[in-house]
């Protein structure tokens, strides 16, 4: 992907986080990316194309910081973290006071909110959500290998939806980051104990 194209997508995530999808204007996007409006029209077919690719960019960036931090989070002794610790780390990465985490979560929330009245992103949003639930279900399966597949998926769907709910409360100043992280950590324990009872 060209540097200019990436710069436009980065800028689109920033502007959407700041103004919402409805507030995204090509003038502000061009200024934020430091490119001409013409270059935006050159790289993206239309508004829908730009929004779809921004959604993909936001998702890829979340996966990238998840993978990087998971690698960085390996204990210094060289002993690999257990599956429960890895699951906790992966989910808690979304509750960190870092500019790119705040921006990614805010932009995702705005892109999702746009789908309430406008169906054009629904397919991509649903797919991204299914992939995320699948990943968390797989990680839960490593924690409790004998739990039924359907129970793992249901737990993963609850944990990821809870994470989105807690993240929205934290980002809007309703809940402190520490409380959001505590509730999330507890929820993982509660769901793992639930899987134990099903065994």
Task: For residue 51, state whether it binds its own copies (rule: CB under 8 A).
Answer: no
Kindly state whether residue 193 participates in binding its own copies, applying the rule CB under 8 A: yes
The answer to whether 98 contacts its own copies (rule: CB under 8 A) is no
Stretch that binds its own copies, among 3-11, 30-38, 138-146, 173-181 (CB under 8 A): 173-181
The full 3-state SS of the chain, as one line of letters, equals: CCHHHHHHHHHHHHHHHHHCCCCCCHHHHHHHHCCCHHHHHHHCCCHHHHHHHHHHHHHHHHHHHHHHHHHHCCCCCCCCCCHHHHHHHHHHCCCCCCHHHHHHHHHHHHHHHHCCCCHHHHHHHHHHHHHHHHHHHHHHHHHCCCCCHHHHHHHHHHHHHHHHHHHHHHHCCCCCHHHHHHHHHHHHHHHHHHHHHHC
CB of 176 to its own copies, least distance (A): 10
Write down the least CB distance from residue 118 to its own copies, Å: 10
Query: In the set 31, 98, 174, 178, which binds its own copies (CB under 8 A)?
Result: 174
142's tokens: 């490593």
Q: Using the structure block, give the residue that is written with the tokens 């699948």.
A: 134
- In terms of CB distance, is 109 or 141 closer to its own copies? 109
Q: Pull the structure tokens for residue 16.
A: 């959407």
- Please pick, from the candidates 65, 115, 145, 181, the single residue that binds its own copies as defined by CB under 8 A: 115
From the list 30-38, 61-69, 72-80, 178-186, the region that binds its own copies by CB under 8 A is 178-186
Please report whether residue 66 would count as binding its own copies according to CB under 8 A: no
* Binds its own copies by CB under 8 A, chosen from 45, 165, 178, 199: 165
5 closest CA partner among 37, 40, 34, 32: 40
140 touches 150 (CB < 8 A): no
- The contact mask relative to its own copies for 13-32 (x = CB under 8 A, - = no) is ----xxxx-xx---------
In this structure, are residues 121 and 115 in contact, taking their beta carbons and an 8 Å threshold? yes
Residue 88 interacts with its own copies (CB under 8 A)? Answer: no
Residues that bind its own copies (CB under 8 A): 17-20, 22-23, 106, 109-110, 112-113, 115-117, 119, 122, 125-126, 129, 154, 157-158, 160-166, 168-169, 171-175, 179, 182-183, 186-187, 190-191, 193-194, 197
């Amino acid at each position: 992907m060209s540097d200019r194209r990436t710069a436009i997508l980065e800028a689109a995530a920033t502007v959407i986080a700041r103004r919402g999808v409805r507030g995204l204007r090509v003038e502000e996007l061009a200024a934020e990316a430091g490119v001409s409006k013409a270059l935006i029209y050159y790289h993206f077919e239309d508004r829908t194309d730009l929004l779809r690719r921004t959604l993909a960019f936001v998702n890829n960036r979340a996966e990238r910081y998840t993978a990087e931090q998971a690698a960085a989070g390996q204990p210094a002794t060289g002993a690999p973290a257990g599956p429960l610790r890895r699951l906790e780390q992966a989910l808690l990465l979304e509750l960190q006071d870092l500019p790119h985490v705040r921006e990614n979560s805010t932009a995702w929330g705005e892109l999702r909110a746009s789908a309430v009245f406008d169906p054009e992103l629904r397919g991509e949003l649903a797919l991204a959500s299914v992939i995320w639930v699948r990943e968390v279900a797989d990680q839960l399966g490593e924690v409790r290998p004998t739990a039924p597949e359907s129970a793992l998926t249901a737990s993963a769907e609850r944990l990821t939806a809870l994470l989105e709910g807690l993240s929205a409360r934290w980002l809007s100043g309703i809940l402190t980051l520490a409380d959001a992280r505590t509730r999330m950590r507890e929820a993982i324990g509660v769901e793992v104990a639930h899987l134990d009872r099903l065994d």
